[in-house]
Homo-oligomer: A and B are copies of this chain.
Amino acid sequence: MNLRKILWSIPAIIALMGITTAAFAQETSNALPETVIADQQYNKAIHIMAMLLIGFGFLMVFVRKYGRSALTATFLLVSISLPLYLLGKSTGLAGNEGSEIERLLFAEFAAASLLIAAGAVLGRLKMPQYLLLGLLFVPFYMLNEWIVLGGGFGLVPVGAVVDTGGSIVIHAFGAIFGLGVALTMTTKQEFEKVIEADATSDRYSMLGSMVLWVFWPSFCAAIVPPEEVPHTVVNVILALCGSTLITYLTSVSLRKKISIADIANAALAGGVAIGSSCAYASHSMAIIIGMLAGGISTFGFAIIQSRQQKWMRVIDTCGVTNLHGIPGLIGGFAVLPIVKGMNIGGHITGIGITVAVAFISGLLVGKVLPILGRKTEPYEDAEEFLDAEE
């Protein structure tokens, strides 16, 4: 074969490459155009936004005479944290990777974690304090995210922590941070004051809970590659079904009658716990994780919460320890037997760092918030809002 023939072969090779490329583009989703990926993530970003405002907002409308405050606080917490996170990312200090929609998704995750933290002290802050809480929370959250997921300080190798849907860095972080804040803030007077639930708000809480339930699959699958989304979302739905059923059974068993607060809250524990392993677990594992989380969470609400207040001398208004803290940690450890060949040491280190950063920064923030005042009276939003509610 002479040189000329070799030269003439080039078109054939190029043509074959062309075909391979075209075929590849059709067969593998990795080759989906960026705009298609962005749109798929955009829809999930909107679903998560519904969870943040309507879901978390209405789930928290159960403190007596505090409905308007809970909703306004939700509005303010979301509105302060999203731009702050995006601003932080734009500095590049904590990494500036990802597309615009991916950065938006990560900002929404930060807002979710903040709303969880705020749930622990709901009913004890004034609006300016929620704003300050948001301002102080986001940097600590980003610090932890950078260390645990982004390889910051070289403490945890990038990719070692498996936490697709954020059981660890979103749910557990937010709950433990909130617990830290509540610990420092709770004074003797506050401790003696019962935060009454508003019975007429049951249906609003259930609305919030259902909105969270419905859109939870998008929360967990937001940054999952397209080809893994179907398995992931079915896992999340199965985990939620499992925790909902077990929550009902546990609530009736432990209390004789159903507590609607158990249903509205613990039914979601399956979504919290499946977060870390949602892309890896089998469907059977998913439903088992959901049931486990639902049972333990309901046990927490029914039995532990009142004792926690005495032991730890802390009031966790929304019970975020039981809904996000414990189930988040369960989810974080559930990954270990499920994902093969993972960096177990790195993963556990990541969980440990998250717990430490969350708790210490929460304690610190709890020291700072009272500079804007401390409530010692029973909480009524009429203090801050015009017109009487009802």
Contact = CB atoms under 8 A, between A and B. Distances in A.
Contact of A226 (B39, B214, B227, B384): B39
14 contacts: A14-B15, A21-B23, A25-B25, A29-B34, A32-B35, A35-B229, A38-B229, A39-B229, A72-B206, A75-B244, A79-B241, A203-B204, A258-B385, A259-B386
Interface string A349-386: 00000000000000000000000000000000000111
Interface in A207-225: 207, 210-211, 213-215, 217-218
A104 interface: yes
A143 interface: no
Contact of A21 (B19, B238, B245, B287): B19
Interface string A244-272: 11001000100101111001000100000
A39 B42 contact: no
Contact of A384 (B38, B49, B237, B257): B257
Interface stretch (A5-13, A179-187, A313-321): A5-13
Contacts of A71: 203, 206, 210
B258 A127 contact: yes
A285 interface: no
Interface of A: 8-12, 14-19, 21-23, 25-29, 31-36, 38-40, 42-43, 45-47, 49-50, 53-54, 57-58, 61, 67-68, 71-72, 75-76, 78-80, 82-83, 86, 99-101, 104, 127, 131, 197, 199-200, 202-204, 206-207, 210-211, 213-215, 217-218, 226-227, 229-231, 233-234, 237-238, 240-242, 244-245, 248, 252, 255, 257-260, 263, 267, 283, 287, 384-390
Given A21-B22, A229-B38, A258-B384, A214 B15 contact: no
A27 B31 CA distance: 9
Contacts of A12: 10-11, 14-15
Contacts of A14: 12, 15-16, 19
A197 B387 contact: yes
A197 B237 CA distance: 33
Interface-central residue, A40, A255, A259, by most chain B CB under 10 Å: A40
